[in-house]
Chains A and B, each alone.
Chain A
């Protein structure tokens, strides 16, 4: 636990201030159709082409729950080590807005589908547990588009009614870094589960951030402000930093924090007041009479639990045990499901340690450089495995391997083919090597004499000559052995 040794704080004029953060993450459920209608959920369709009579709230239309969305929420709850509630209720959250056709959002208020759970974060100074307060299912609203026309607002209802999971954390986070780790961990878990694609650009993962500050050592929480709908981790971190500093300044100058909802302005890098607590909506929640309470049979939950894939935490343990990786390596390699799959494919066909080294070194550097994800890598897992095999078998040296790797990036070719066609194969025939080394020693008799009279450092010179003559292809180990043997004679 790092709650105690948290080292992120805001330096005020007088005191050091601890930042307390809680997150409400809205994760779009991966499902073919919406939470209460059969409309498609595909992203990027033309406006208002994926809208049913239910989504647009025509008279007499009724919602019918999409079972797959319920299962996705249960899976996610299980992935968060949370209590699944066999009984939950859908409520109406009433408010008027042009992109909310029903005039209410169907959500879950008093009885959410998922209760308390926890998420483990790997921080540089140890692991940290973050509590989950609840997870509930709700409908997404449509989209108001204000910038298409100077005087009108346009409404796109394609998103209206898509299922969201609202995942509410306890106020356990203490720094922008922890927020970063938390969001990434949530996203990783949901991607492993296949319950949310976690794509923040497309808005399938958004968050409201609750921030308050208190003097280091204080037990009581300060008054919090909620920052609405920040849709990138970077903005979230910037917003938290700005907001925490703002609060510290206010308190230290003797003022009070108003509990309010604030917006983050990404251009000015500041938060500003959206509405105060007094102006807060009265949502008039009440159970939706169009829907019966959701009763989930324990057997369904048990079956879903059994069919759950291996999750990052379990996979990490297994990687450490089975592949002899360090905690750090394992952590990096399980962070995304695709990365872990890639690693296992490479490791199984080559060498588990070298696979980790090559991936975390050259491969990630290249992907990072090119802005590619692992699934877009020009080097397939089997090709990387072959490259590593070639190093292990002595066919090529590590140095040559790097050259081959570069060519693989450009061409996507198989390493064997590259080695063959470019004649990059290592010279590993002892007779051939011995012949070549003898010639080198013949031509450098003076140096041989000096070496024999005690100038040990000259050994490096001979190695250099061997590499030069062989064009770098001499098997270094073998060349060393032969050199030593011949120089002794």
Chain B
């Protein structure tokens, strides 16, 4: 069978289960795509040999009684993978090979999938363009001078360019949804606590959440079902029964109330975004949903709040990278302090250092109350905005990002303008809510734009159903010319 990699994950699983294709066949096509796609720089580490072996093993003794039988998957290089280098996009971990496997990837492997490789990302997931990676920036498969978004940029590019049937990313302030929006793919950030954080290199613990990145909504439901679940090793994991998102996926959204927040408009936002948002409302109305105008009054404070809370946690989470026990160690320095200083100066990139400094500052004595404590209070207000709105509506529809994918280098030296790209996604992380981005159309430069659906805590099924219904009507098709293979 040809062009297997064009197919959706759901289709591929169907073909494997009906024994029309073998895992080896499928795997070798994705490996070939990966080899041809080097220009994209989506991979940090390829584990193709391991994948081939796993595919062979699967075909010899197949087990079809699982969600992802014989499916090769590349994952963001923030998930620790047993025996396979895990870098978090940083020089600091350039030689780090974990001897343990993250819970989320373990869940995927338990459902029949296996590892294809580790995908590029912003260093420690800090970035919105994948330009902070020590391993070089990823290029958007849709246009060679454009970023794929970040921090899960490698993941988004890999799905978009058919290097992997689906993938997983992490989302601390939009790192799944914004790159999904930039690449015309589907990305979901689950409710905080739905997916275990155990074995994921931490950025900001109270915000980090892993989620699926896929071509379609069905694929998204399937991946989420495979990866989520209670984990006693993560104290913030939610102890609840696993849901059958893929089986329960349906397009009936009749009677659902969808909120449109007036605050999700920013200066200089392209007209196409407004247009696509309007079209989204229209589709929902036609499907029987009710559109309700709502207000989330503290939205404008979300970004500054996020850029206090996230760096604060990061400054502490990244303290462990000191060169003592694993990872990079500078060979300069004559004592412990100098070893720390040199290791961290040489091992971390500029954006990571910037956030460690911000985080250290906002937690310092004398500044704690004015920054960190105030940010925590505002965070509660932002959460309350959503709580209040969810008394009136079942979900909220917004744009995913205030722009389409921007040029490589365009915002690299302007951190504020880079941070502004997260303006529609960070409130969701601060409130711990589920949200997903689905492709909605193209802007005037033929670059994709996404719409974001935000749901009540643990209402992933509702989000998926709304997205499923919209997906059909929007009928978005990626037009990829595979320039990187030429």
- Using a CB–CB cutoff of 8 Å, the interface residues on chain A facing chain B are 53, 56-65, 92, 94, 96, 98, 101-104, 153, 155, 282, 284-286, 288-292
Question: Residues of A contacting B204 with CB < 8 Å?
Answer: 289
Most buried by A among B200, B318, B322: B322
The answer to whether A101 touches B336, judged by C-beta atoms less than 8 angstroms apart, is no
B96-104, B130-138, B158-166, B177-185: which one contacts chain A? Answer: B96-104
The answer to whether B198 touches A104, judged by C-beta atoms less than 8 angstroms apart, is no
The answer to whether B201 touches A60, judged by C-beta atoms less than 8 angstroms apart, is yes
Known: A284-B364, A289-B206. A56 touches B325 (CB 8 A): yes
Query: Could you list 19 A-B pairs, sorted by A, with CB under 8 Å?
Result: A58-B98, A59-B80, A59-B86, A59-B93, A59-B202, A60-B98, A61-B199, A62-B197, A63-B235, A64-B234, A65-B235, A96-B322, A103-B316, A104-B316, A153-B336, A155-B324, A284-B368, A286-B312, A290-B205
Contact of B394 with A by CB under 8 A: no
Question: Residues of B contacting A94 with CB < 8 Å?
Answer: 315-316, 319, 363
Known: A104-B316, A292-B236. A62 touches B325 (CB 8 A): no
The answer to whether B364 touches A62, judged by C-beta atoms less than 8 angstroms apart, is no
Within the assembled complex, what's the spacing in Å between the Cα atoms of A64 and B372?
Answer: 25
Give the contacts of B297-352 with A (CB-CB under 8 A).
312-313, 315-316, 318-320, 322, 324-326, 336-337, 340
The answer to whether A289 touches B205, judged by C-beta atoms less than 8 angstroms apart, is yes
Closest to B200 in A: A60
Closest to B320 in A: A57
Partner of B363, one of A63, A64, A101, A286: A286
Within the assembled complex, what's the spacing in Å between the Cα atoms of A62 and B93?
Answer: 18
Give the contacts of B189-231 with A (CB-CB under 8 A).
197-202, 204-206
Known: A59-B93, A282-B364, A284-B364. A64 touches B88 (CB 8 A): no
Question: Residues of A contacting B199 with CB < 8 Å?
Answer: 60-61
The answer to whether B336 touches A53, judged by C-beta atoms less than 8 angstroms apart, is no
The answer to whether B202 touches A60, judged by C-beta atoms less than 8 angstroms apart, is yes
Known: A286-B372, A291-B235, A292-B236. A59 touches B320 (CB 8 A): yes
The answer to whether B320 touches A290, judged by C-beta atoms less than 8 angstroms apart, is no
Question: Residues of A contacting B312 with CB < 8 Å?
Answer: 286
Within the assembled complex, what's the spacing in Å between the Cα atoms of A286 and B309?
Answer: 11
The answer to whether A98 touches B324, judged by C-beta atoms less than 8 angstroms apart, is yes
Closest to A95 in B: B319
The answer to whether A62 touches B100, judged by C-beta atoms less than 8 angstroms apart, is no
- Using a CB–CB cutoff of 8 Å, the interface residues on chain B facing chain A are 80, 86, 88, 93, 96, 98, 100, 102, 197-202, 204-206, 232-236, 312-313, 315-316, 318-320, 322, 324-326, 336-337, 340, 360, 363-365, 368, 372
Rounded to whole Å, the gap between the CB of B317 and the closest CB of chain A is 9
The answer to whether B235 touches A60, judged by C-beta atoms less than 8 angstroms apart, is no
Within the assembled complex, what's the spacing in Å between the Cα atoms of A291 and B322?
Answer: 23
The answer to whether B98 touches A59, judged by C-beta atoms less than 8 angstroms apart, is yes
Known: A60-B80, A64-B232, A92-B316. A103 touches B322 (CB 8 A): yes
Question: Residues of B contacting A56 with CB < 8 Å?
Answer: 325
Known: A59-B86, A60-B199. A101 touches B325 (CB 8 A): yes
Known: A92-B316, A284-B364. A98 touches B80 (CB 8 A): no
Question: Residues of B contacting A96 with CB < 8 Å?
Answer: 319, 322, 337, 340
Within the assembled complex, what's the spacing in Å between the Cα atoms of A202 and B233?
Answer: 31
A-B pairs with lowest CB-CB distance, top 6: A103-B319, A289-B206, A289-B205, A284-B363, A57-B320, A60-B199
Question: Residues of B contacting A60 with CB < 8 Å?
Answer: 80, 98, 102, 197-202
Rounded to whole Å, the gap between the CB of A25 and the closest CB of chain B is 25
Within the assembled complex, what's the spacing in Å between the Cα atoms of A58 and B82?
Answer: 13
Closest to B327 in A: A59
Rounded to whole Å, the gap between the CB of B80 and the closest CB of chain A is 5
Question: Residues of B contacting A53 with CB < 8 Å?
Answer: 100
Question: Residues of B contacting A101 with CB < 8 Å?
Answer: 320, 324-325
Partner of B325, one of A57, A63, A65, A284: A57
Question: Residues of B contacting A282 with CB < 8 Å?
Answer: 364-365
Question: Residues of B contacting A292 with CB < 8 Å?
Answer: 235-236
Closest to A96 in B: B340
Within the assembled complex, what's the spacing in Å between the Cα atoms of A102 and B320?
Answer: 5
Contacts A103-B316, A284-B315 known; 18 new A-B pairs at CB < 8 A: A59-B86, A59-B98, A59-B201, A60-B80, A60-B197, A64-B232, A64-B233, A64-B235, A96-B337, A103-B318, A284-B316, A284-B364, A285-B363, A286-B312, A288-B205, A289-B204, A289-B313, A290-B235
Within the assembled complex, what's the spacing in Å between the Cα atoms of A286 and B376?
Answer: 11
Rounded to whole Å, the gap between the CB of A91 and the closest CB of chain B is 10
Within the assembled complex, what's the spacing in Å between the Cα atoms of A102 and B88?
Answer: 17
The answer to whether B236 touches A290, judged by C-beta atoms less than 8 angstroms apart, is yes
Question: Residues of A contacting B232 with CB < 8 Å?
Answer: 64
Partner of A59, one of B96, B315, B322, B364: B96
Known: A57-B325, A101-B320, A284-B363. A62 touches B198 (CB 8 A): yes
Question: Residues of A contacting B236 with CB < 8 Å?
Answer: 289-292
Question: Residues of B contacting A61 with CB < 8 Å?
Answer: 198-199
Within the assembled complex, what's the spacing in Å between the Cα atoms of A101 and B324?
Answer: 8
Most buried by A among B80, B96, B100, B324: B324
Question: Residues of A contacting B96 with CB < 8 Å?
Answer: 59
Question: Residues of A contacting B86 with CB < 8 Å?
Answer: 59
Partner of A284, one of B88, B98, B360: B360
Rounded to whole Å, the gap between the CB of B53 and the closest CB of chain A is 25
Question: Residues of A contacting B202 with CB < 8 Å?
Answer: 59-60, 290
Within the assembled complex, what's the spacing in Å between the Cα atoms of A365 and B72?
Answer: 77
Closest to A90 in B: B235
Question: Residues of B contacting A103 with CB < 8 Å?
Answer: 316, 318-320, 322
Within the assembled complex, what's the spacing in Å between the Cα atoms of A153 and B198?
Answer: 31
Question: Residues of A contacting B365 with CB < 8 Å?
Answer: 282, 284
Rounded to whole Å, the gap between the CB of B314 and the closest CB of chain A is 11
